[in-house]
């Protein structure tokens, strides 16, 4: 079995897609989540400048990321959908710097969920996942746990050839 370190990538011909979703504790423009929304564009810009960043789903207002992109079946859920060159590149962004600080504050901004809200999967270089694809992968992860089709940092998989 591969170790998590050996799966940090990159893998030739593949990139890593990731989705995370959440329901804010208040509407997007409510003062209760203002510290989140006023920093979202800046944090996303930091991610875009990281080594290994490939693509970010964005809506009409880049300062708000994809917060105006509808999550199928739940318009109150906001989505973050990105593509990276490797698990290692995503890990470096997610768990360091200002993103890490905001990640530690997620309970201030997002409602608790009883199901997984994040998943990763490999895509061919050049592929940009859709929100529907992300929803399908997240649902697979919720139902089956970590598999080559959808996984998370704790149990990564190599791309399927």
Q: Locate tokens 């998989």: which residue? A: 157
Domain-located, residue 156? no
Domain-located, residue 81? yes
Pick from 98, 111, 93: nearest CA to 39: 98
* Residue 30, phi then psi, degrees to nearest 5: -75, 140
* CATH code assigned at 132: 3.30.70.100
Domain-located, residue 155? no
Number of domains in the chain: 1
β-strand pairing of 14-23 with 118-124: antiparallel
Between CA 75 and CA 11 the distance in angstroms is: 35
Domain-located, residue 161? no
- Local confidence pLDDT in tens for the 161 residues of the chain: 455 566 777 788 999 999 999 999 998 889 999 999 899 989 999 999 999 999 999 988 877 778 878 899 888 899 999 999 999 999 999 998 888 888 889 999 999 999 999 999 999 999 999 999 999 999 999 999 999 999 999 999 999 86
Give me the domain span that covers residue 32. 5-144
Residue 92's CB is within 10 A of a number of other CB atoms, namely 17
């Amino acid at each position: 079995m591969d170790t998590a370190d050996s799966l940090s990538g990159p893998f030739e011909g593949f990139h890593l897609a990731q989705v995370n979703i959440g329901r804010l504790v208040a509407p997007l423009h409510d003062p209760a989540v203002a510290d989140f929304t006023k920093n979202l564009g800046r944090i996303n810009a930091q991610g875009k400048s990281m080594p290994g960043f490939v693509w970010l789903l964005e809506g009409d207002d880049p300062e708000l990321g994809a917060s105006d992109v509808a999550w199928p079946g739940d318009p109150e859920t906001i989505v973050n959908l990105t593509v990276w060159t490797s698990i290692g590149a995503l890990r470096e962004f997610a768990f360091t710097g200002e993103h890490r600080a905001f990640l530690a504050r997620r309970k201030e901004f997002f409602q608790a969920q009883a199901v997984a809200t994040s998943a990763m999967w490999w895509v061919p270089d050049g592929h940009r996942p859709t929100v529907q694809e992300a929803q399908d992968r997240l649902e697979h992860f919720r139902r089956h746990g970590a598999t080559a089709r959808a996984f998370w940092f704790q149990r990564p998989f190599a791309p399927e050839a």
